[in-house]
Amino acid sequence: MADAERVWTIVVGGGSGRRFGSLKQYEQLGDRRVIDHAHAAADAMSDGTVIVVPPEDADRERGIAGGATRSASVRAGLDAVPPDATIILVHDAARPFAGTDLYGRVIQAVVAGADGAIPGIPVADTIKTFEPTSDGRVVVGTPDRSRLIAVQTPQGFRADVLRAAHRGDDDATDDAALVERAGGRVVVVDGDQDNRKITHPDDLTWARELLATRSDAGGA
């Protein structure tokens, strides 16, 4: 990381947990919660970290109250990032296994000149596009799988670029989409297969098994 850079990370955990059935960011994963794992990696690679959580939890978690959408929660986090930050990363609190190497790749891509950098992994399944019809859905295309990636976080951006992309009230499933809409140049770095987002209860079971395997390996 260049000495002149000031890197801050927003860890976004403001979701309601509707798909999971509870607040997944607070589920126990080993001796820490999911959000604590995500926070630790951000702390290790940043000059400062902002945690965004549901409004009713902000005081308890020493965080920032999130909004009604993911993009609104990111904007709340941006308001708490100091103006001297030069690079801002955004990470999902539900991704507990983003390591420092991954953070480093994202940061270095922005230092090298990109407006934004996102981690991605190859798509294993064939993807189809379709159009809804009165009697179902009709396939209209098969994208070239070699040009598709599944996108992860942390995503990193030049601070002024990310702030400008969030000046409106637009929503998107990730911050890179807003930067892309604003004309920013976003590059892809290698993601990590273990950097899986905990979305369903089965994902938490997988995460606990992976953590146990890592602990066993470390103790061998």
pLDDT tens column, 26-35? 999 999 999 9
- Is residue 83 reached through a cis peptide bond, with omega within 30 degrees of 0 on the bond before it? no
148 DSSP assignment: -
Best CA proximity match to 8, nearest among 151, 159, 145:
159
Question: What is the pTM assigned to this prediction?
Answer: 0.92
Q: Tens of pLDDT along 120-151?
A: 999 999 999 999 998 899 999 999 999 999 99
- Quickly list H helices, 28-158: 34-45, 58-61, 70-80, 100-111
pLDDT band at 214 (very low <50, low <70, confident <90, very high): confident
Q: Which helix (H) or strand (E) holds 188?
A: strand 186-190
Q: Tens of pLDDT along 143-175?
A: 999 999 999 999 999 999 999 999 988 899 999
Best CA proximity match to 100, nearest among 186, 195, 207:
195
**How many C-beta neighbours within 10 Å does residue 87 have?**
25
